[in-house]
């Protein structure tokens, strides 16, 4: 796509998103906040799968670490400002990524993949079992009356949807931009090369395990950041936010949008949230439909929405180019 | 007498059966050393042992007097050794430019850097293009590497190895699958780019071997059966036997 | 103290029972994994399907033995069907898509089960002839049914061993696990062997599903619970190694059994600790092929 088109799209999206809560209903504002948080989560996953080729099926673990660590900070350290509690949650995600990554990344492909699920399940089990700390399947709550104080703008309650929208938007956009920049660094280039031919990178004198650990921890950190936002948004923490179905949904978001391009997970999260909203209103077992849709996409349209878009765009653009 | 840049001492490798048997070899700095032998003799295995892909079962390998056996490949490469592969081992779904740039970034030890390094990226790009130009691949820099024809892929394969600016270059059958004219080009290229370096090359094409090599080592069934100058090799009866004769008639 | 000591033999037996159950499911998984490099998440779903078919058959006919006959066969066909359709289609497109497809399939099956049967546990009665218990020694008694599980799995194990070691099919299977390309080059019909292994593996998973039904009841979370232990067994034992899977399964069984009694709060985590330990010492599992 030409540069000017891209910039135009981004400008339009920025304008749209800035004006949104001022014109949209509460319902749709709520939905867009959820989309932004999921988009951040989905993009963090893209760094692993689409960019580096690491197939993890336990990404919910880091989102969940962000959720629970932020929630626990909010509950047990009530004097801590909300943004600092978020920071705690995010850093816990980074640490979890480092710890689990250090152990798992040395494993060969298949071992790595199902170990990601195993360790995610372990964290879920802890969330489920450690009732005294995590509240078990009842989860945690109790910070909905908290306020976020910002230097210039003043204090806002978590119940203020418009404020929450802008707060989440700024953080989500910055996180996604950070991920984008990450892919454009020499490390990002190394990881793309690892995806293409891991052995050759090794034989160029680059420490691939170190590279993988760096992306894994960074991805975990961003996922945890999304989790900390989610905690402020939903005003609760529950084992649902760390279970394997969430890991599956993260993958679904990537696949729907097209898991090999950066924009894919962003598009995918939008489609995902709308799809779930639409399906759940008239099918009780909408997860079944989603799963079937997911498998069909993989079989027939692995490029996802972006893939289809590219195909269509080529068909339109090519005849135009020939005429020139 | 300078110490050898690469010293293999009693190197043995067992994979359940013995693949390399008590090989001792000194590579002199600055020489062009050919490694020949029948198929399955263990030549590529020797490269794998030197570069750390396999661990030796017995013996030691020293590079510039420092032991390197047991090190993982990326550490061996960082010490100044680079190898090319017999089966072309490029980043096939990336562009020629991206292939070469990865090597250049690796050479400058910037592979793990996570900042944008605005200024450096420009000089790195320039260096990448310079190298591609020397390989006559600059016109193709935005093509996907997998689309190039075989001779060009070969050139890029060797180019990626040289881009790391190693002191010791290990080329594994650089002429494999090339036409006679392409082979001549590759030999010319190898001469140029290994001018101030040490080269060990595995080859089957005897013309290439005699053209390039200062010394030739012959491997047969994991054993080193000769290590001599080209003229001496021609007269060596054990070598002739290993190759079932006829090889040196020309 | 006396009480807990006398419990030890019982706990060992419990561990054996559970370990053998996991082994039945994991054996199919590890063989297919070793042969085709496919991590089939849906394999544990087939185990669950076996349990639900058993439930349905007992609801209709009140005959457990019929269920034991029918369900595993149905599972075998299901396994082969999945392999033929989905996996065959996606195998060529690379590992990522293949893995995602089996993962998606497993999710779909779980949701399907929830949709049809809900999320509560459904009981299956222990067959009349096995409701008693056997006196082992002194005052110690052990339920007939659990001994039945042990004996049945022992028979199945012996059958598997015979199949693999003494029959031509077994040799082909082992050849394919070792080196599929070579086996194909030497004339083995790898596709046929693959389908057979999938069929047998699914059959075993079905058996496990049926015999676990009276033991742990039937519920939609069976997939999640089994997949953890299954993976642990395959990981610890080594990909493609049946012997390794057996040893790992017995180990996992004992850990679960003793863990629940002596360290209840961390029993779930013990399995992961085992995996961590094995990964640190031997990243390819106890008996796995080196890369």
pLDDT tens readout for residues B141-174: 999 999 999 989 999 999 999 999 999 999 999 9
The percentage of residues in chain C with a pLDDT greater than 70, rounded to a whole number, is 95
Distance, in Å, from the CA atom of C263 to the CA atom of A229, rounded to the nearest integer, reads: 35
State the residue range of the domain holding A176.
21-243
- Give me the mean pLDDT over the C86-111 stretch: 83
Residues 6+ apart with CB under 8 A from C225: none
Enumerate the residues of chain C whose CB falls inside 8 A of the CB of residue A288. Answer: 108, 111-112, 115
Enumerate the residues of chain A whose CB falls inside 8 A of the CB of residue C291. Answer: 108
Enumerate the residues of chain B whose CB falls inside 8 A of the CB of residue A203. Answer: 51, 73-74, 77, 82-83, 89
Count other C-beta atoms under 10 Å from residue C206's C-beta. Answer: 32
Compute the mean pLDDT over every residue in chain C, rounded to the nearest whole number.
83
Strand duo A236-237 + B81-83: pairing: unpaired
> Is there a contact between B116 and A207 if contact means CB atoms under 8 Å apart?
no
pLDDT at C265 over 80: no
Distance, in Å, from the CA atom of B19 to the CA atom of B40, rounded to the nearest integer, reads: 9
Higher pLDDT, C95 or A181: A181
In a domain, B205, yes or no: yes
In a domain, A181, yes or no: yes
Interface of A with C in 169-228 (CB under 8 A): none
- Give me the mean pLDDT over the A258-287 stretch: 89
Q: Check residue A177 and give left, alpha or beta (phi > 0: left; psi -120 to 50: alpha).
A: alpha
In a domain, B78, yes or no: yes
pLDDT tens readout for residues A300-323: 888 889 888 888 888 877 666 554
Chains with 3+ CB–CB pairs under 8 A to B are A
pLDDT at B1: 63
Higher pLDDT, C9 or B248: C9
- Confidence (pTM): 0.90
pLDDT at C103: 87
The residue in chain B having the minimum alpha-carbon distance to the alpha carbon of residue A194 is B91
> Is there a contact between A285 and C232 if contact means CB atoms under 8 Å apart?
no
pLDDT at A205 over 60: yes
pLDDT at C136: 73
Q: How confident is the model at residue C4 (pLDDT cuts 50, 70, 90)?
A: low
pLDDT at C142 over 90: no
> Is there a contact between B111 and A211 if contact means CB atoms under 8 Å apart?
yes
In a domain, A276, yes or no: no
The percentage of residues in chain A with a pLDDT greater than 90, rounded to a whole number, is 54
**Cβ proximity of C21 and C211 under 8 Å:** yes
Cα dihedral sign, C83-C85-C88-C92: negative
In a domain, B8, yes or no: no
pLDDT at A16: 81
pLDDT at C13 over 80: yes
Name the least confident of A199-208, B27-36, B83-92, C34-43: C34-43
> Burial of B228 by CB count in 10 Å (0-12 exposed, 13-18 middle, 19+ buried)?
middle
Supply the CATH number for residue B185's domain: 3.40.50.300
Mark whether C and B touch (3+ CB pairs within 8 Å): no
- Give me the mean pLDDT over the A128-146 stretch: 85
Strand duo B18-27 + A140-141: pairing: unpaired
pLDDT at B244: 54
- Give me the mean pLDDT over the A277-289 stretch: 83
The residue in chain A having the minimum alpha-carbon distance to the alpha carbon of residue C39 is A110
pLDDT at C258 over 50: yes
**Cβ proximity of B94 and B103 under 8 Å:** no
**Cβ proximity of B8 and B25 under 8 Å:** yes
**Cβ proximity of C288 and C244 under 8 Å:** yes
Chains with 3+ CB–CB pairs under 8 A to A are B, C
- Give me the mean pLDDT over the A181-198 stretch: 93
pLDDT at C1: 44
pLDDT at A219: 97
The percentage of residues in chain C with a pLDDT greater than 90, rounded to a whole number, is 16
Interface check B112 vs A, CB under 8 A:
yes
Residues 6+ apart with CB under 8 A from A322: none
pLDDT tens readout for residues B208-217: 888 889 999 9
Torsion of CA B94, B95, B97, B102, to 10 degrees: 0
In a domain, B102, yes or no: yes
The percentage of residues in chain B with a pLDDT greater than 70, rounded to a whole number, is 96
Cα dihedral sign, A176-A178-A179-A180: positive
pLDDT tens readout for residues B3-20: 899 999 999 999 888 899
Enumerate the residues of chain B whose CB falls inside 8 A of the CB of residue A222. Answer: none
Of B75, B92, B102, the CB nearest to A204: B102
The HSE-up count of residue B248 (CA atoms within 13 Å, CB side) is 19
Higher pLDDT, A119 or C127: A119
In a domain, B206, yes or no: yes
Of C89, C103, C269, the CB nearest to A57: C103
Distance from CA of B161 to the nearest CA of A (A): 8
Distance, in Å, from the CA atom of A55 to the CA atom of C95, rounded to the nearest integer, reads: 9
pLDDT tens readout for residues A214-262: 999 999 999 999 999 999 999 999 999 999 889 999 999 999 999 999 9
In a domain, A1, yes or no: no
Distance from CA of B11 to the nearest CA of A (A): 22
In a domain, B218, yes or no: yes
> Is there a contact between A113 and C90 if contact means CB atoms under 8 Å apart?
no
pLDDT at C115: 86
Enumerate the residues of chain C whose CB falls inside 8 A of the CB of residue A202. Answer: none
The residue in chain C having the minimum alpha-carbon distance to the alpha carbon of residue A285 is C115
Higher pLDDT, A283 or A278: A278
Distance from CA of A196 to the nearest CA of B (A): 6
- Give me the mean pLDDT over the C34-54 stretch: 87
Name the least confident of A299-303, A314-318, C75-79, C277-281: A314-318
**The domain C14-128+142-281 is classified under which CATH number: 2.10.25, 1.10.3470, 2.60.40, 1.10.10?**
1.10.3470
> Is there a contact between A197 and B91 if contact means CB atoms under 8 Å apart?
yes
Domain count, chain B: 1
3-state secondary structure B23-70: EEEEECCCCEEEEECCCCCCHHHHHHHHCCCCCCCEEEEEECCEECCC
- Contacts of residues C124-129 at CB distance under 8 Å and 24 or more positions apart, as own/partner, are C124/C54, C124/C55, C124/C58, C124/C64, C124/C213, C124/C214, C124/C217, C124/C218, C125/C58, C125/C64, C125/C214, C126/C64, C126/C214, C127/C64, C127/C65, C127/C214
Name the least confident of A3-7, A155-159, B224-228: A3-7
Integer-rounded Cα radius of gyration of chain B: 19
Distance from CA of C116 to the nearest CA of A (A): 10
Q: State residue C273 phi and psi, 5-degree precision.
A: -60, -40
Nearest to C269 by CA among B14, A58, A125, A165: A125
pLDDT at C282: 78
The complex's ipTM works out to 0.90
Of A182, A205, A207, the CB nearest to B114: A182
pLDDT at A225: 97
Helix (H, G, I), strand (E, B) or coil at A262: coil
The residue in chain A having the minimum alpha-carbon distance to the alpha carbon of residue C234 is A111
Helix (H, G, I), strand (E, B) or coil at C27: helix
Whole-number Cα distances in Å, C204 to A133, C150, C155? 40, 14, 12
State the residue range of the domain holding B159.
31-48+73-242
Interface of A with C in 272-291 (CB under 8 A): 284-285, 287-288, 291
Nearest to C23 by CA among C243, C267, C280: C243
pLDDT at C148 over 90: no
Nearest to C224 by CA among A239, A67, A98: A239
Q: How confident is the model at residue A43 (pLDDT cuts 50, 70, 90)?
A: very high
pLDDT at A193: 96
> Is there a contact between B111 and A182 if contact means CB atoms under 8 Å apart?
no
pLDDT at B243: 66
The HSE-up count of residue C116 (CA atoms within 13 Å, CB side) is 13
> Is there a contact between A202 and B98 if contact means CB atoms under 8 Å apart?
no
pLDDT at C289: 61
pLDDT at B250: 38
Distance, in Å, from the CA atom of B21 to the CA atom of B57, rounded to the nearest integer, reads: 10
Interface check C215 vs A, CB under 8 A:
no
Distance, in Å, from the CA atom of B24 to the CA atom of C234, rounded to the nearest integer, reads: 42
Distance, in Å, from the CA atom of C285 to the CA atom of C255, rounded to the nearest integer, reads: 18
pLDDT at C10: 83
pLDDT tens readout for residues A98-110: 999 998 998 888 8
Compute the mean pLDDT over every residue in chain B, rounded to the nearest whole number.
89
Interface test with B, best of A94, A177, A186, A206 (most B CBs within 10 A): A186
Interface check B125 vs A, CB under 8 A:
no
> Is there a contact between A202 and B113 if contact means CB atoms under 8 Å apart?
no
Interface check B138 vs A, CB under 8 A:
no
Q: How confident is the model at residue C2 (pLDDT cuts 50, 70, 90)?
A: very low
pLDDT at B246: 46
Per-domain boundaries in chain C: 14-128+142-281
- Helix and strand numbers (H, E) in chain C are 12, 2
- Give me the mean pLDDT over the A89-94 stretch: 97
Interface of C with A in 75-94 (CB under 8 A): 86, 89-90, 93
Cα dihedral sign, C88-C93-C99-C100: negative
- Give me the mean pLDDT over the A117-122 stretch: 89
Cα dihedral sign, C75-C77-C80-C85: negative
Distance from CA of B246 to the nearest CA of A (A): 37
């Amino acid at each position: 796509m030409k540069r000017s088109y891209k910039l135009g799209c981004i400008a339009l999206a920025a304008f749209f998103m800035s004006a949104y809560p001022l014109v949209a209903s509460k319902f749709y504002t709520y939905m867009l906040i959820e989309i932004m948080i999921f988009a951040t989560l989905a993009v963090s996953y893209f760094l692993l799968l689409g960019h580096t080729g690491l197939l993890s099926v336990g990404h919910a673990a880091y989102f969940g670490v962000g959720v629970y660590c932020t929630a626990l900070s909010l509950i047990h350290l009530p004097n801590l400002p909300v943004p600092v509690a978020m920071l705690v949650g995010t850093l816990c995600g980074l640490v979890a990524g480092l710890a689990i990554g250090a152990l798992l990344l040395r494993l060969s492909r298949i071992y790595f993949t199902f170990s990601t699920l195993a360790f995610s399940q372990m964290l879920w089990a802890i969330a489920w079992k450690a009732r005294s700390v995590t509240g078990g399947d009842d989860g945690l709550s109790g910070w909905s009356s908290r306020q976020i104080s910002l230097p210039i703008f003043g204090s806002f309650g978590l119940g203020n949807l418009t404020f929450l929208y802008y707060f989440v938007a700024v953080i989500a956009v910055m996180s996604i931009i950070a991920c984008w920049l990450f892919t454009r660094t020499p490390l990002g280039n190394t990881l793309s090369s690892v995806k293409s031919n891991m052995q050759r990178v090794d034989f160029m004198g680059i420490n691939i395990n170190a590279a993988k650990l760096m992306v894994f921890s960074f991805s975990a950190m961003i996922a945890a950041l999304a989790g900390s936002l989610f905690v402020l948004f939903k005003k609760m923490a529950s084992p649902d936010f760390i279970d394997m179905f969430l890991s599956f949904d993260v993958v679904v978001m990537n696949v729907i949008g097209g898991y090999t391009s950066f924009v894919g997970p962003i598009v995918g999260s939008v489609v995902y949230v709308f799809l779930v909203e639409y399906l759940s209103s008239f099918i009780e077992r909408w997860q079944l439909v989603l799963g079937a849709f997911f498998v069909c996409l993989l079989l027939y349209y692995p490029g996802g929405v972006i893939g289809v878009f590219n195909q269509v765009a080529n068909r339109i653009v090519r005849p135009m180019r020939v005429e020139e | 007498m300078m110490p050898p840049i690469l010293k293999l001492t009693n190197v043995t490798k067992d994979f359940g059966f013995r693949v390399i048997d008590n090989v001792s070899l000194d590579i002199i700095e600055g020489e062009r050393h050919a490694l020949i032998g029948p198929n399955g003799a263990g030549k590529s295995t020797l490269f794998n042992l030197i570069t750390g892909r396999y661990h030796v079962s017995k013996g030691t390998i020293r590079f510039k007097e420092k032991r390197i056996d047991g090190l993982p490949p990326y550490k061996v490469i960082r010490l100044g050794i680079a190898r090319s592969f017999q089966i072309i081992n490029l980043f096939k779904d990336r562009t020629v430019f991206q292939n070469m740039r990865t090597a250049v970034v690796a050479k400058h030890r910037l592979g793990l850097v996570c900042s944008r390094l605005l200024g450096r990226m420009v000089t790195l790009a320039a260096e990448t293009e310079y190298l591609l130009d020397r390989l006559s691949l600059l016109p193709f820099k935005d093509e996907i590497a997998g689309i190039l024809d075989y001779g060009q892929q070969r050139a890029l394969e060797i180019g990626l190895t040289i881009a790391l600016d190693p002191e010791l270059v290990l080329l594994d059958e650089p002429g494999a699958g090339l036409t006679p004219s392409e082979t001549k080009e590759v030999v010319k290229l190898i001469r140029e780019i290994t001018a101030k370096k040490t080269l060990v090359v595995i080859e089957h094409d005897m013309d290439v071997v005699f053209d390039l090599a200062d010394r030739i080592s012959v491997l047969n069934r994991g054993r080193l059966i000769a290590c001599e100058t080209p003229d001496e090799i021609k007269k060596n009866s054990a070598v002739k036997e290993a190759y079932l004769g006829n090889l040196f008639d020309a | 103290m006396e009480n807990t000591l006398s419990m030890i033999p019982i706990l060992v037996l419990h561990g054996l029972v559970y370990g053998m159950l996991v082994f039945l499911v994991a054996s199919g998984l590890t063989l297919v994994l070793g042969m085709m490099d496919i991590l089939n998440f849906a394999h544990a779903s087939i185990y669950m399907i076996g349990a639900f078919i058993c439930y349905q058959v007992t609801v209709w006919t009140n005959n457990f033995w019929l269920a034991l006959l029918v369900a595993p066969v149905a599972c075998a066909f299901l396994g082969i069907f999945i392999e033929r359709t989905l996996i065959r289609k996606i195998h060529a497109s690379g590992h990522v898509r293949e893995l995602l497809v089996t993962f998606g399939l497993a999710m779909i099956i779980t949701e399907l089960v929830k949709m049809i049967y809900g999320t509560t546990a459904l009981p299956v009665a222990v067959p009349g002839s096995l409701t008693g218990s056997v006196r082992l020694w002194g005052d110690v008694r052990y339920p007939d049914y659990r001994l039945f599980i042990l004996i049945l799995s022992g028979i199945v194990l012996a059958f598997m061993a015979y199949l693999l070691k003494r029959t031509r099919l077994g040799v082909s299977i082992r050849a394919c696990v070792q080196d599929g390309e070579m086996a194909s080059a030497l004339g083995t019909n790898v596709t046929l062997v693959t389908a057979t292994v999938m069929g047998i593996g699914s059959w075993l998973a079905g058996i496990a599903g049926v015999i676990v039904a009276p033991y742990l009841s039937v519920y939609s979370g069976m997939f999640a619970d089994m997949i953890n232990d299954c993976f642990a067994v395959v990981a610890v034992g080594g990909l493609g190694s049946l012997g390794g899977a057996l040893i790992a399964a017995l180990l996992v069984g004992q850990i679960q059994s003793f863990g629940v009694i002596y360290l209840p709060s961390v029993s779930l985590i013990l399995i992961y600790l085992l995996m961590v330990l094995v990964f640190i010492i031997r990243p390819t599992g106890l008996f796995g092929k080196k890369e």
